[in-house]
A = this chain, B = another copy of it.
Amino acid sequence: MALKARVLYDFHSENPGEISISENELVTLFNEEELEGWLEGENSRGRLASSLPPMWRSSGTTSPPTGGSGGGSFHTSQGSDDDWDDDWDDGSPATDVPQGLGSTPPLYPVTSSLPGRRESTQQHQQQAKSSATVGRNLNRFSTFVKSGGEAFLLGEASAFVKDGDRICVVMGKHGPEWQDDPYPFTCTIDDPTKQTKFKGMKSYMSYGLTPTHTNVQVNRRYKHFDWLYARLVERFPVISVPHLPEKQATGRFEEDFISKRRKGLIWWMNHMISHPVLARCDVFQHFLTCGADEKAWKQGKRKAERDELVGANFFLTISTPSVPLDLQEVESKIEGFKTFTKRMDENSVVVNTTINEFARKQAAGFKKEYQKVGQSFKLLAQAFELDQQAYSVGLNKAIADTGEAYEAIGEYFAEQPRQDLDPISDLLDLYRGHLANFPDIIHVQKGALTKVKDCPKQEGELHDRCNIISCATLAEIQHFHRTRVRDFRTQMQHHLRQQIGFFQKITAKLEDTLQRYDDDQ
Contact = CB atoms under 8 A, between A and B. Distances in A.
Given A376-B350, A392-B481, A488-B395, A402 B361 contact: no
A492 B398 contact: yes
A214 to B, nearest CB: 31
Nearest to A402: B492
Contacts of A380: 344, 347-348, 351, 488
Contacts of A379: 347, 350-351
A507 B506 CA distance: 10
B517 A510 contact: no
A391 interface: yes
Interface in A360-391: 361, 365-366, 369, 372-373, 375-377, 379-380, 382-384, 386-387, 389-391
A400 to B, nearest CB: 11
B492 A386 contact: no
Given A361-B369, A376-B355, A489-B517, A382 B350 contact: no
A493 interface: yes
A344 B387 CA distance: 10
A340 B497 CA distance: 47
B514 A510 contact: no
A256 interface: no
Contacts of A373: 354-355, 358
A493 B511 CA distance: 10
A387 B347 contact: no
A202 interface: no
A383 B492 contact: no
A111 interface: no
A424 to B, nearest CB: 9
A48 to B, nearest CB: 39
A343 interface: yes
A346 interface: yes
A361 B481 CA distance: 40
A386 B510 contact: no
Interface residues of A, number: 62
Contacts of A365: 361, 365
A35 interface: no
A357 B395 CA distance: 25
A339 interface: yes
Contacts of A351: 376-377, 379-380
B482 A500 contact: no
A391 B481 CA distance: 9
A168 to B, nearest CB: 21
A343 B382 contact: yes
A496 interface: yes
A389 B402 CA distance: 51
Given A343-B382, A365-B365, A503 B492 contact: no
A159 to B, nearest CB: 35
B392 A485 contact: yes
25 contacts: A340-B386, A340-B387, A343-B386, A344-B380, A347-B383, A348-B383, A354-B375, A354-B376, A355-B376, A357-B372, A358-B369, A365-B365, A366-B366, A384-B484, A384-B488, A391-B482, A392-B481, A395-B485, A395-B489, A399-B488, A492-B517, A503-B503, A503-B504, A503-B506, A503-B510
